[in-house]
């Protein structure tokens, strides 16, 4: 994470008014409605999977700016409330828009990665993230390549037992004949090997997997 002032956020896809809102939230959070900002970021993350991968940095920067300026957490509270609402309606979201569901999982994982309390991941997000990843490990999700998502070291540290259970599903999904595409099998194998190697990957492994994906 770099200094917020030096970060370049992917906000060009917003209209001019919203771009100005986000820029102000990053520089002078007390001058804008931070609950509105949280909703804007979540709404856009559910529509744009590229932005959903970047939004965590922006949210972290706004939280830091608000805390430094006013010692408050209006933005974080609004963000978590909205994440909870979408989490509770996750099956409806998935039924309505597979892309929106994938964006949501990407977004909540990105938020989990960036947001910290006393330099620790937020406990309130641990089980929702696991639940989303367990859903992605179900057979009907594994058959859809766009639903596959990599899990990480921090999540395992917070709850090793659930990670073990999740990887039982991932392993079974890889081994059992369930009509998976070759790409889905490749991505599952990469995830399994990634964890087995201590959440690290070698240049050789990266070259192998991503040359296969590009092919």
SS3 of residue 193 by DSSP: helix
pLDDT digits (tens, 9 = 90+) for 54-69: 899 999 999 999 999 9
* CATH architecture label of 123-214: Alpha Horseshoe (1.25)
Number of H helices, E strands in the chain: 13, 2
Closest by CA to 56, choosing from 116, 16, 5, 12, is 116
Backbone phi, then psi, for 120, in 5-degree steps?
-125, 150
pLDDT at residue 3 greater than cutoff 70? no
- pLDDT (average), residues 22-32: 94
CA distances from 147 to 5, 44, 83, 106 (A): 34, 19, 19, 10
Q: Where do the domains of the chain lie?
A: 9-117, 123-214
SS3 of residue 121 by DSSP: strand
Which one is predicted more confidently, 10 or 186? 186
Residue 215: the pLDDT is: 52
Cβ 30 vs Cβ 74: under 8 Å: no
pLDDT at residue 79 greater than cutoff 60? yes
Cβ neighbours for 51, distance < 8 A, ≥ 6 positions apart: 10, 13, 44, 45
What's the fold here for domain 9-117? 1.25.40
Q: Are 9-117 and 123-214 in the same CATH fold?
A: yes
Closest by CA to 214, choosing from 183, 181, 179, 192, is 183
Beta strand extents in the chain (DSSP E only):
116-117, 120-121
pLDDT digits (tens, 9 = 90+) for 163-195: 898 888 888 888 876 677 787 777 778 788 878
């Amino acid at each position: 994470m770099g200094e917020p002032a030096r970060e370049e956020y992917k906000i060009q896809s917003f209209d001019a008014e919203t771009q100005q809102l986000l820029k102000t939230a990053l520089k002078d959070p007390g001058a804008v409605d931070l609950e509105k900002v949280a909703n804007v970021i979540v709404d856009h993350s559910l529509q744009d999977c590229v932005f959903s991968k970047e939004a965590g940095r922006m949210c972290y920067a706004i939280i830091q700016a608000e805390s430094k300026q006013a010692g408050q957490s209006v933005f974080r509270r609004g963000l978590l409330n909205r994440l909870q609402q979408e989490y509770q309606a996750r099956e409806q979201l998935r039924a309505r828009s597979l892309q929106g569901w994938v964006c949501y999982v990407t977004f909540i994982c990105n938020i989990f990665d960036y947001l910290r309390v006393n330099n620790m991941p937020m406990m309130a997000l641990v089980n929702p993230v696991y639940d989303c990843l367990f859903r992605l490990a179900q057979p009907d999700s594994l058959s859809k390549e766009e639903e596959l998502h990599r899990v990480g070291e921090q999540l395992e540290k917070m709850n090793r037992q659930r990670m073990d259970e999740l990887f039982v599903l991932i392993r079974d999904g890889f081994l059992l004949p369930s009509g998976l595409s070759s790409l889905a099998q490749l991505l599952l194998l990469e995830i399994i090997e990634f964890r087995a190697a201590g959440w690290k990957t070698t240049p050789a492994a990266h070259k192998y997997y991503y040359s296969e994906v590009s092919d």
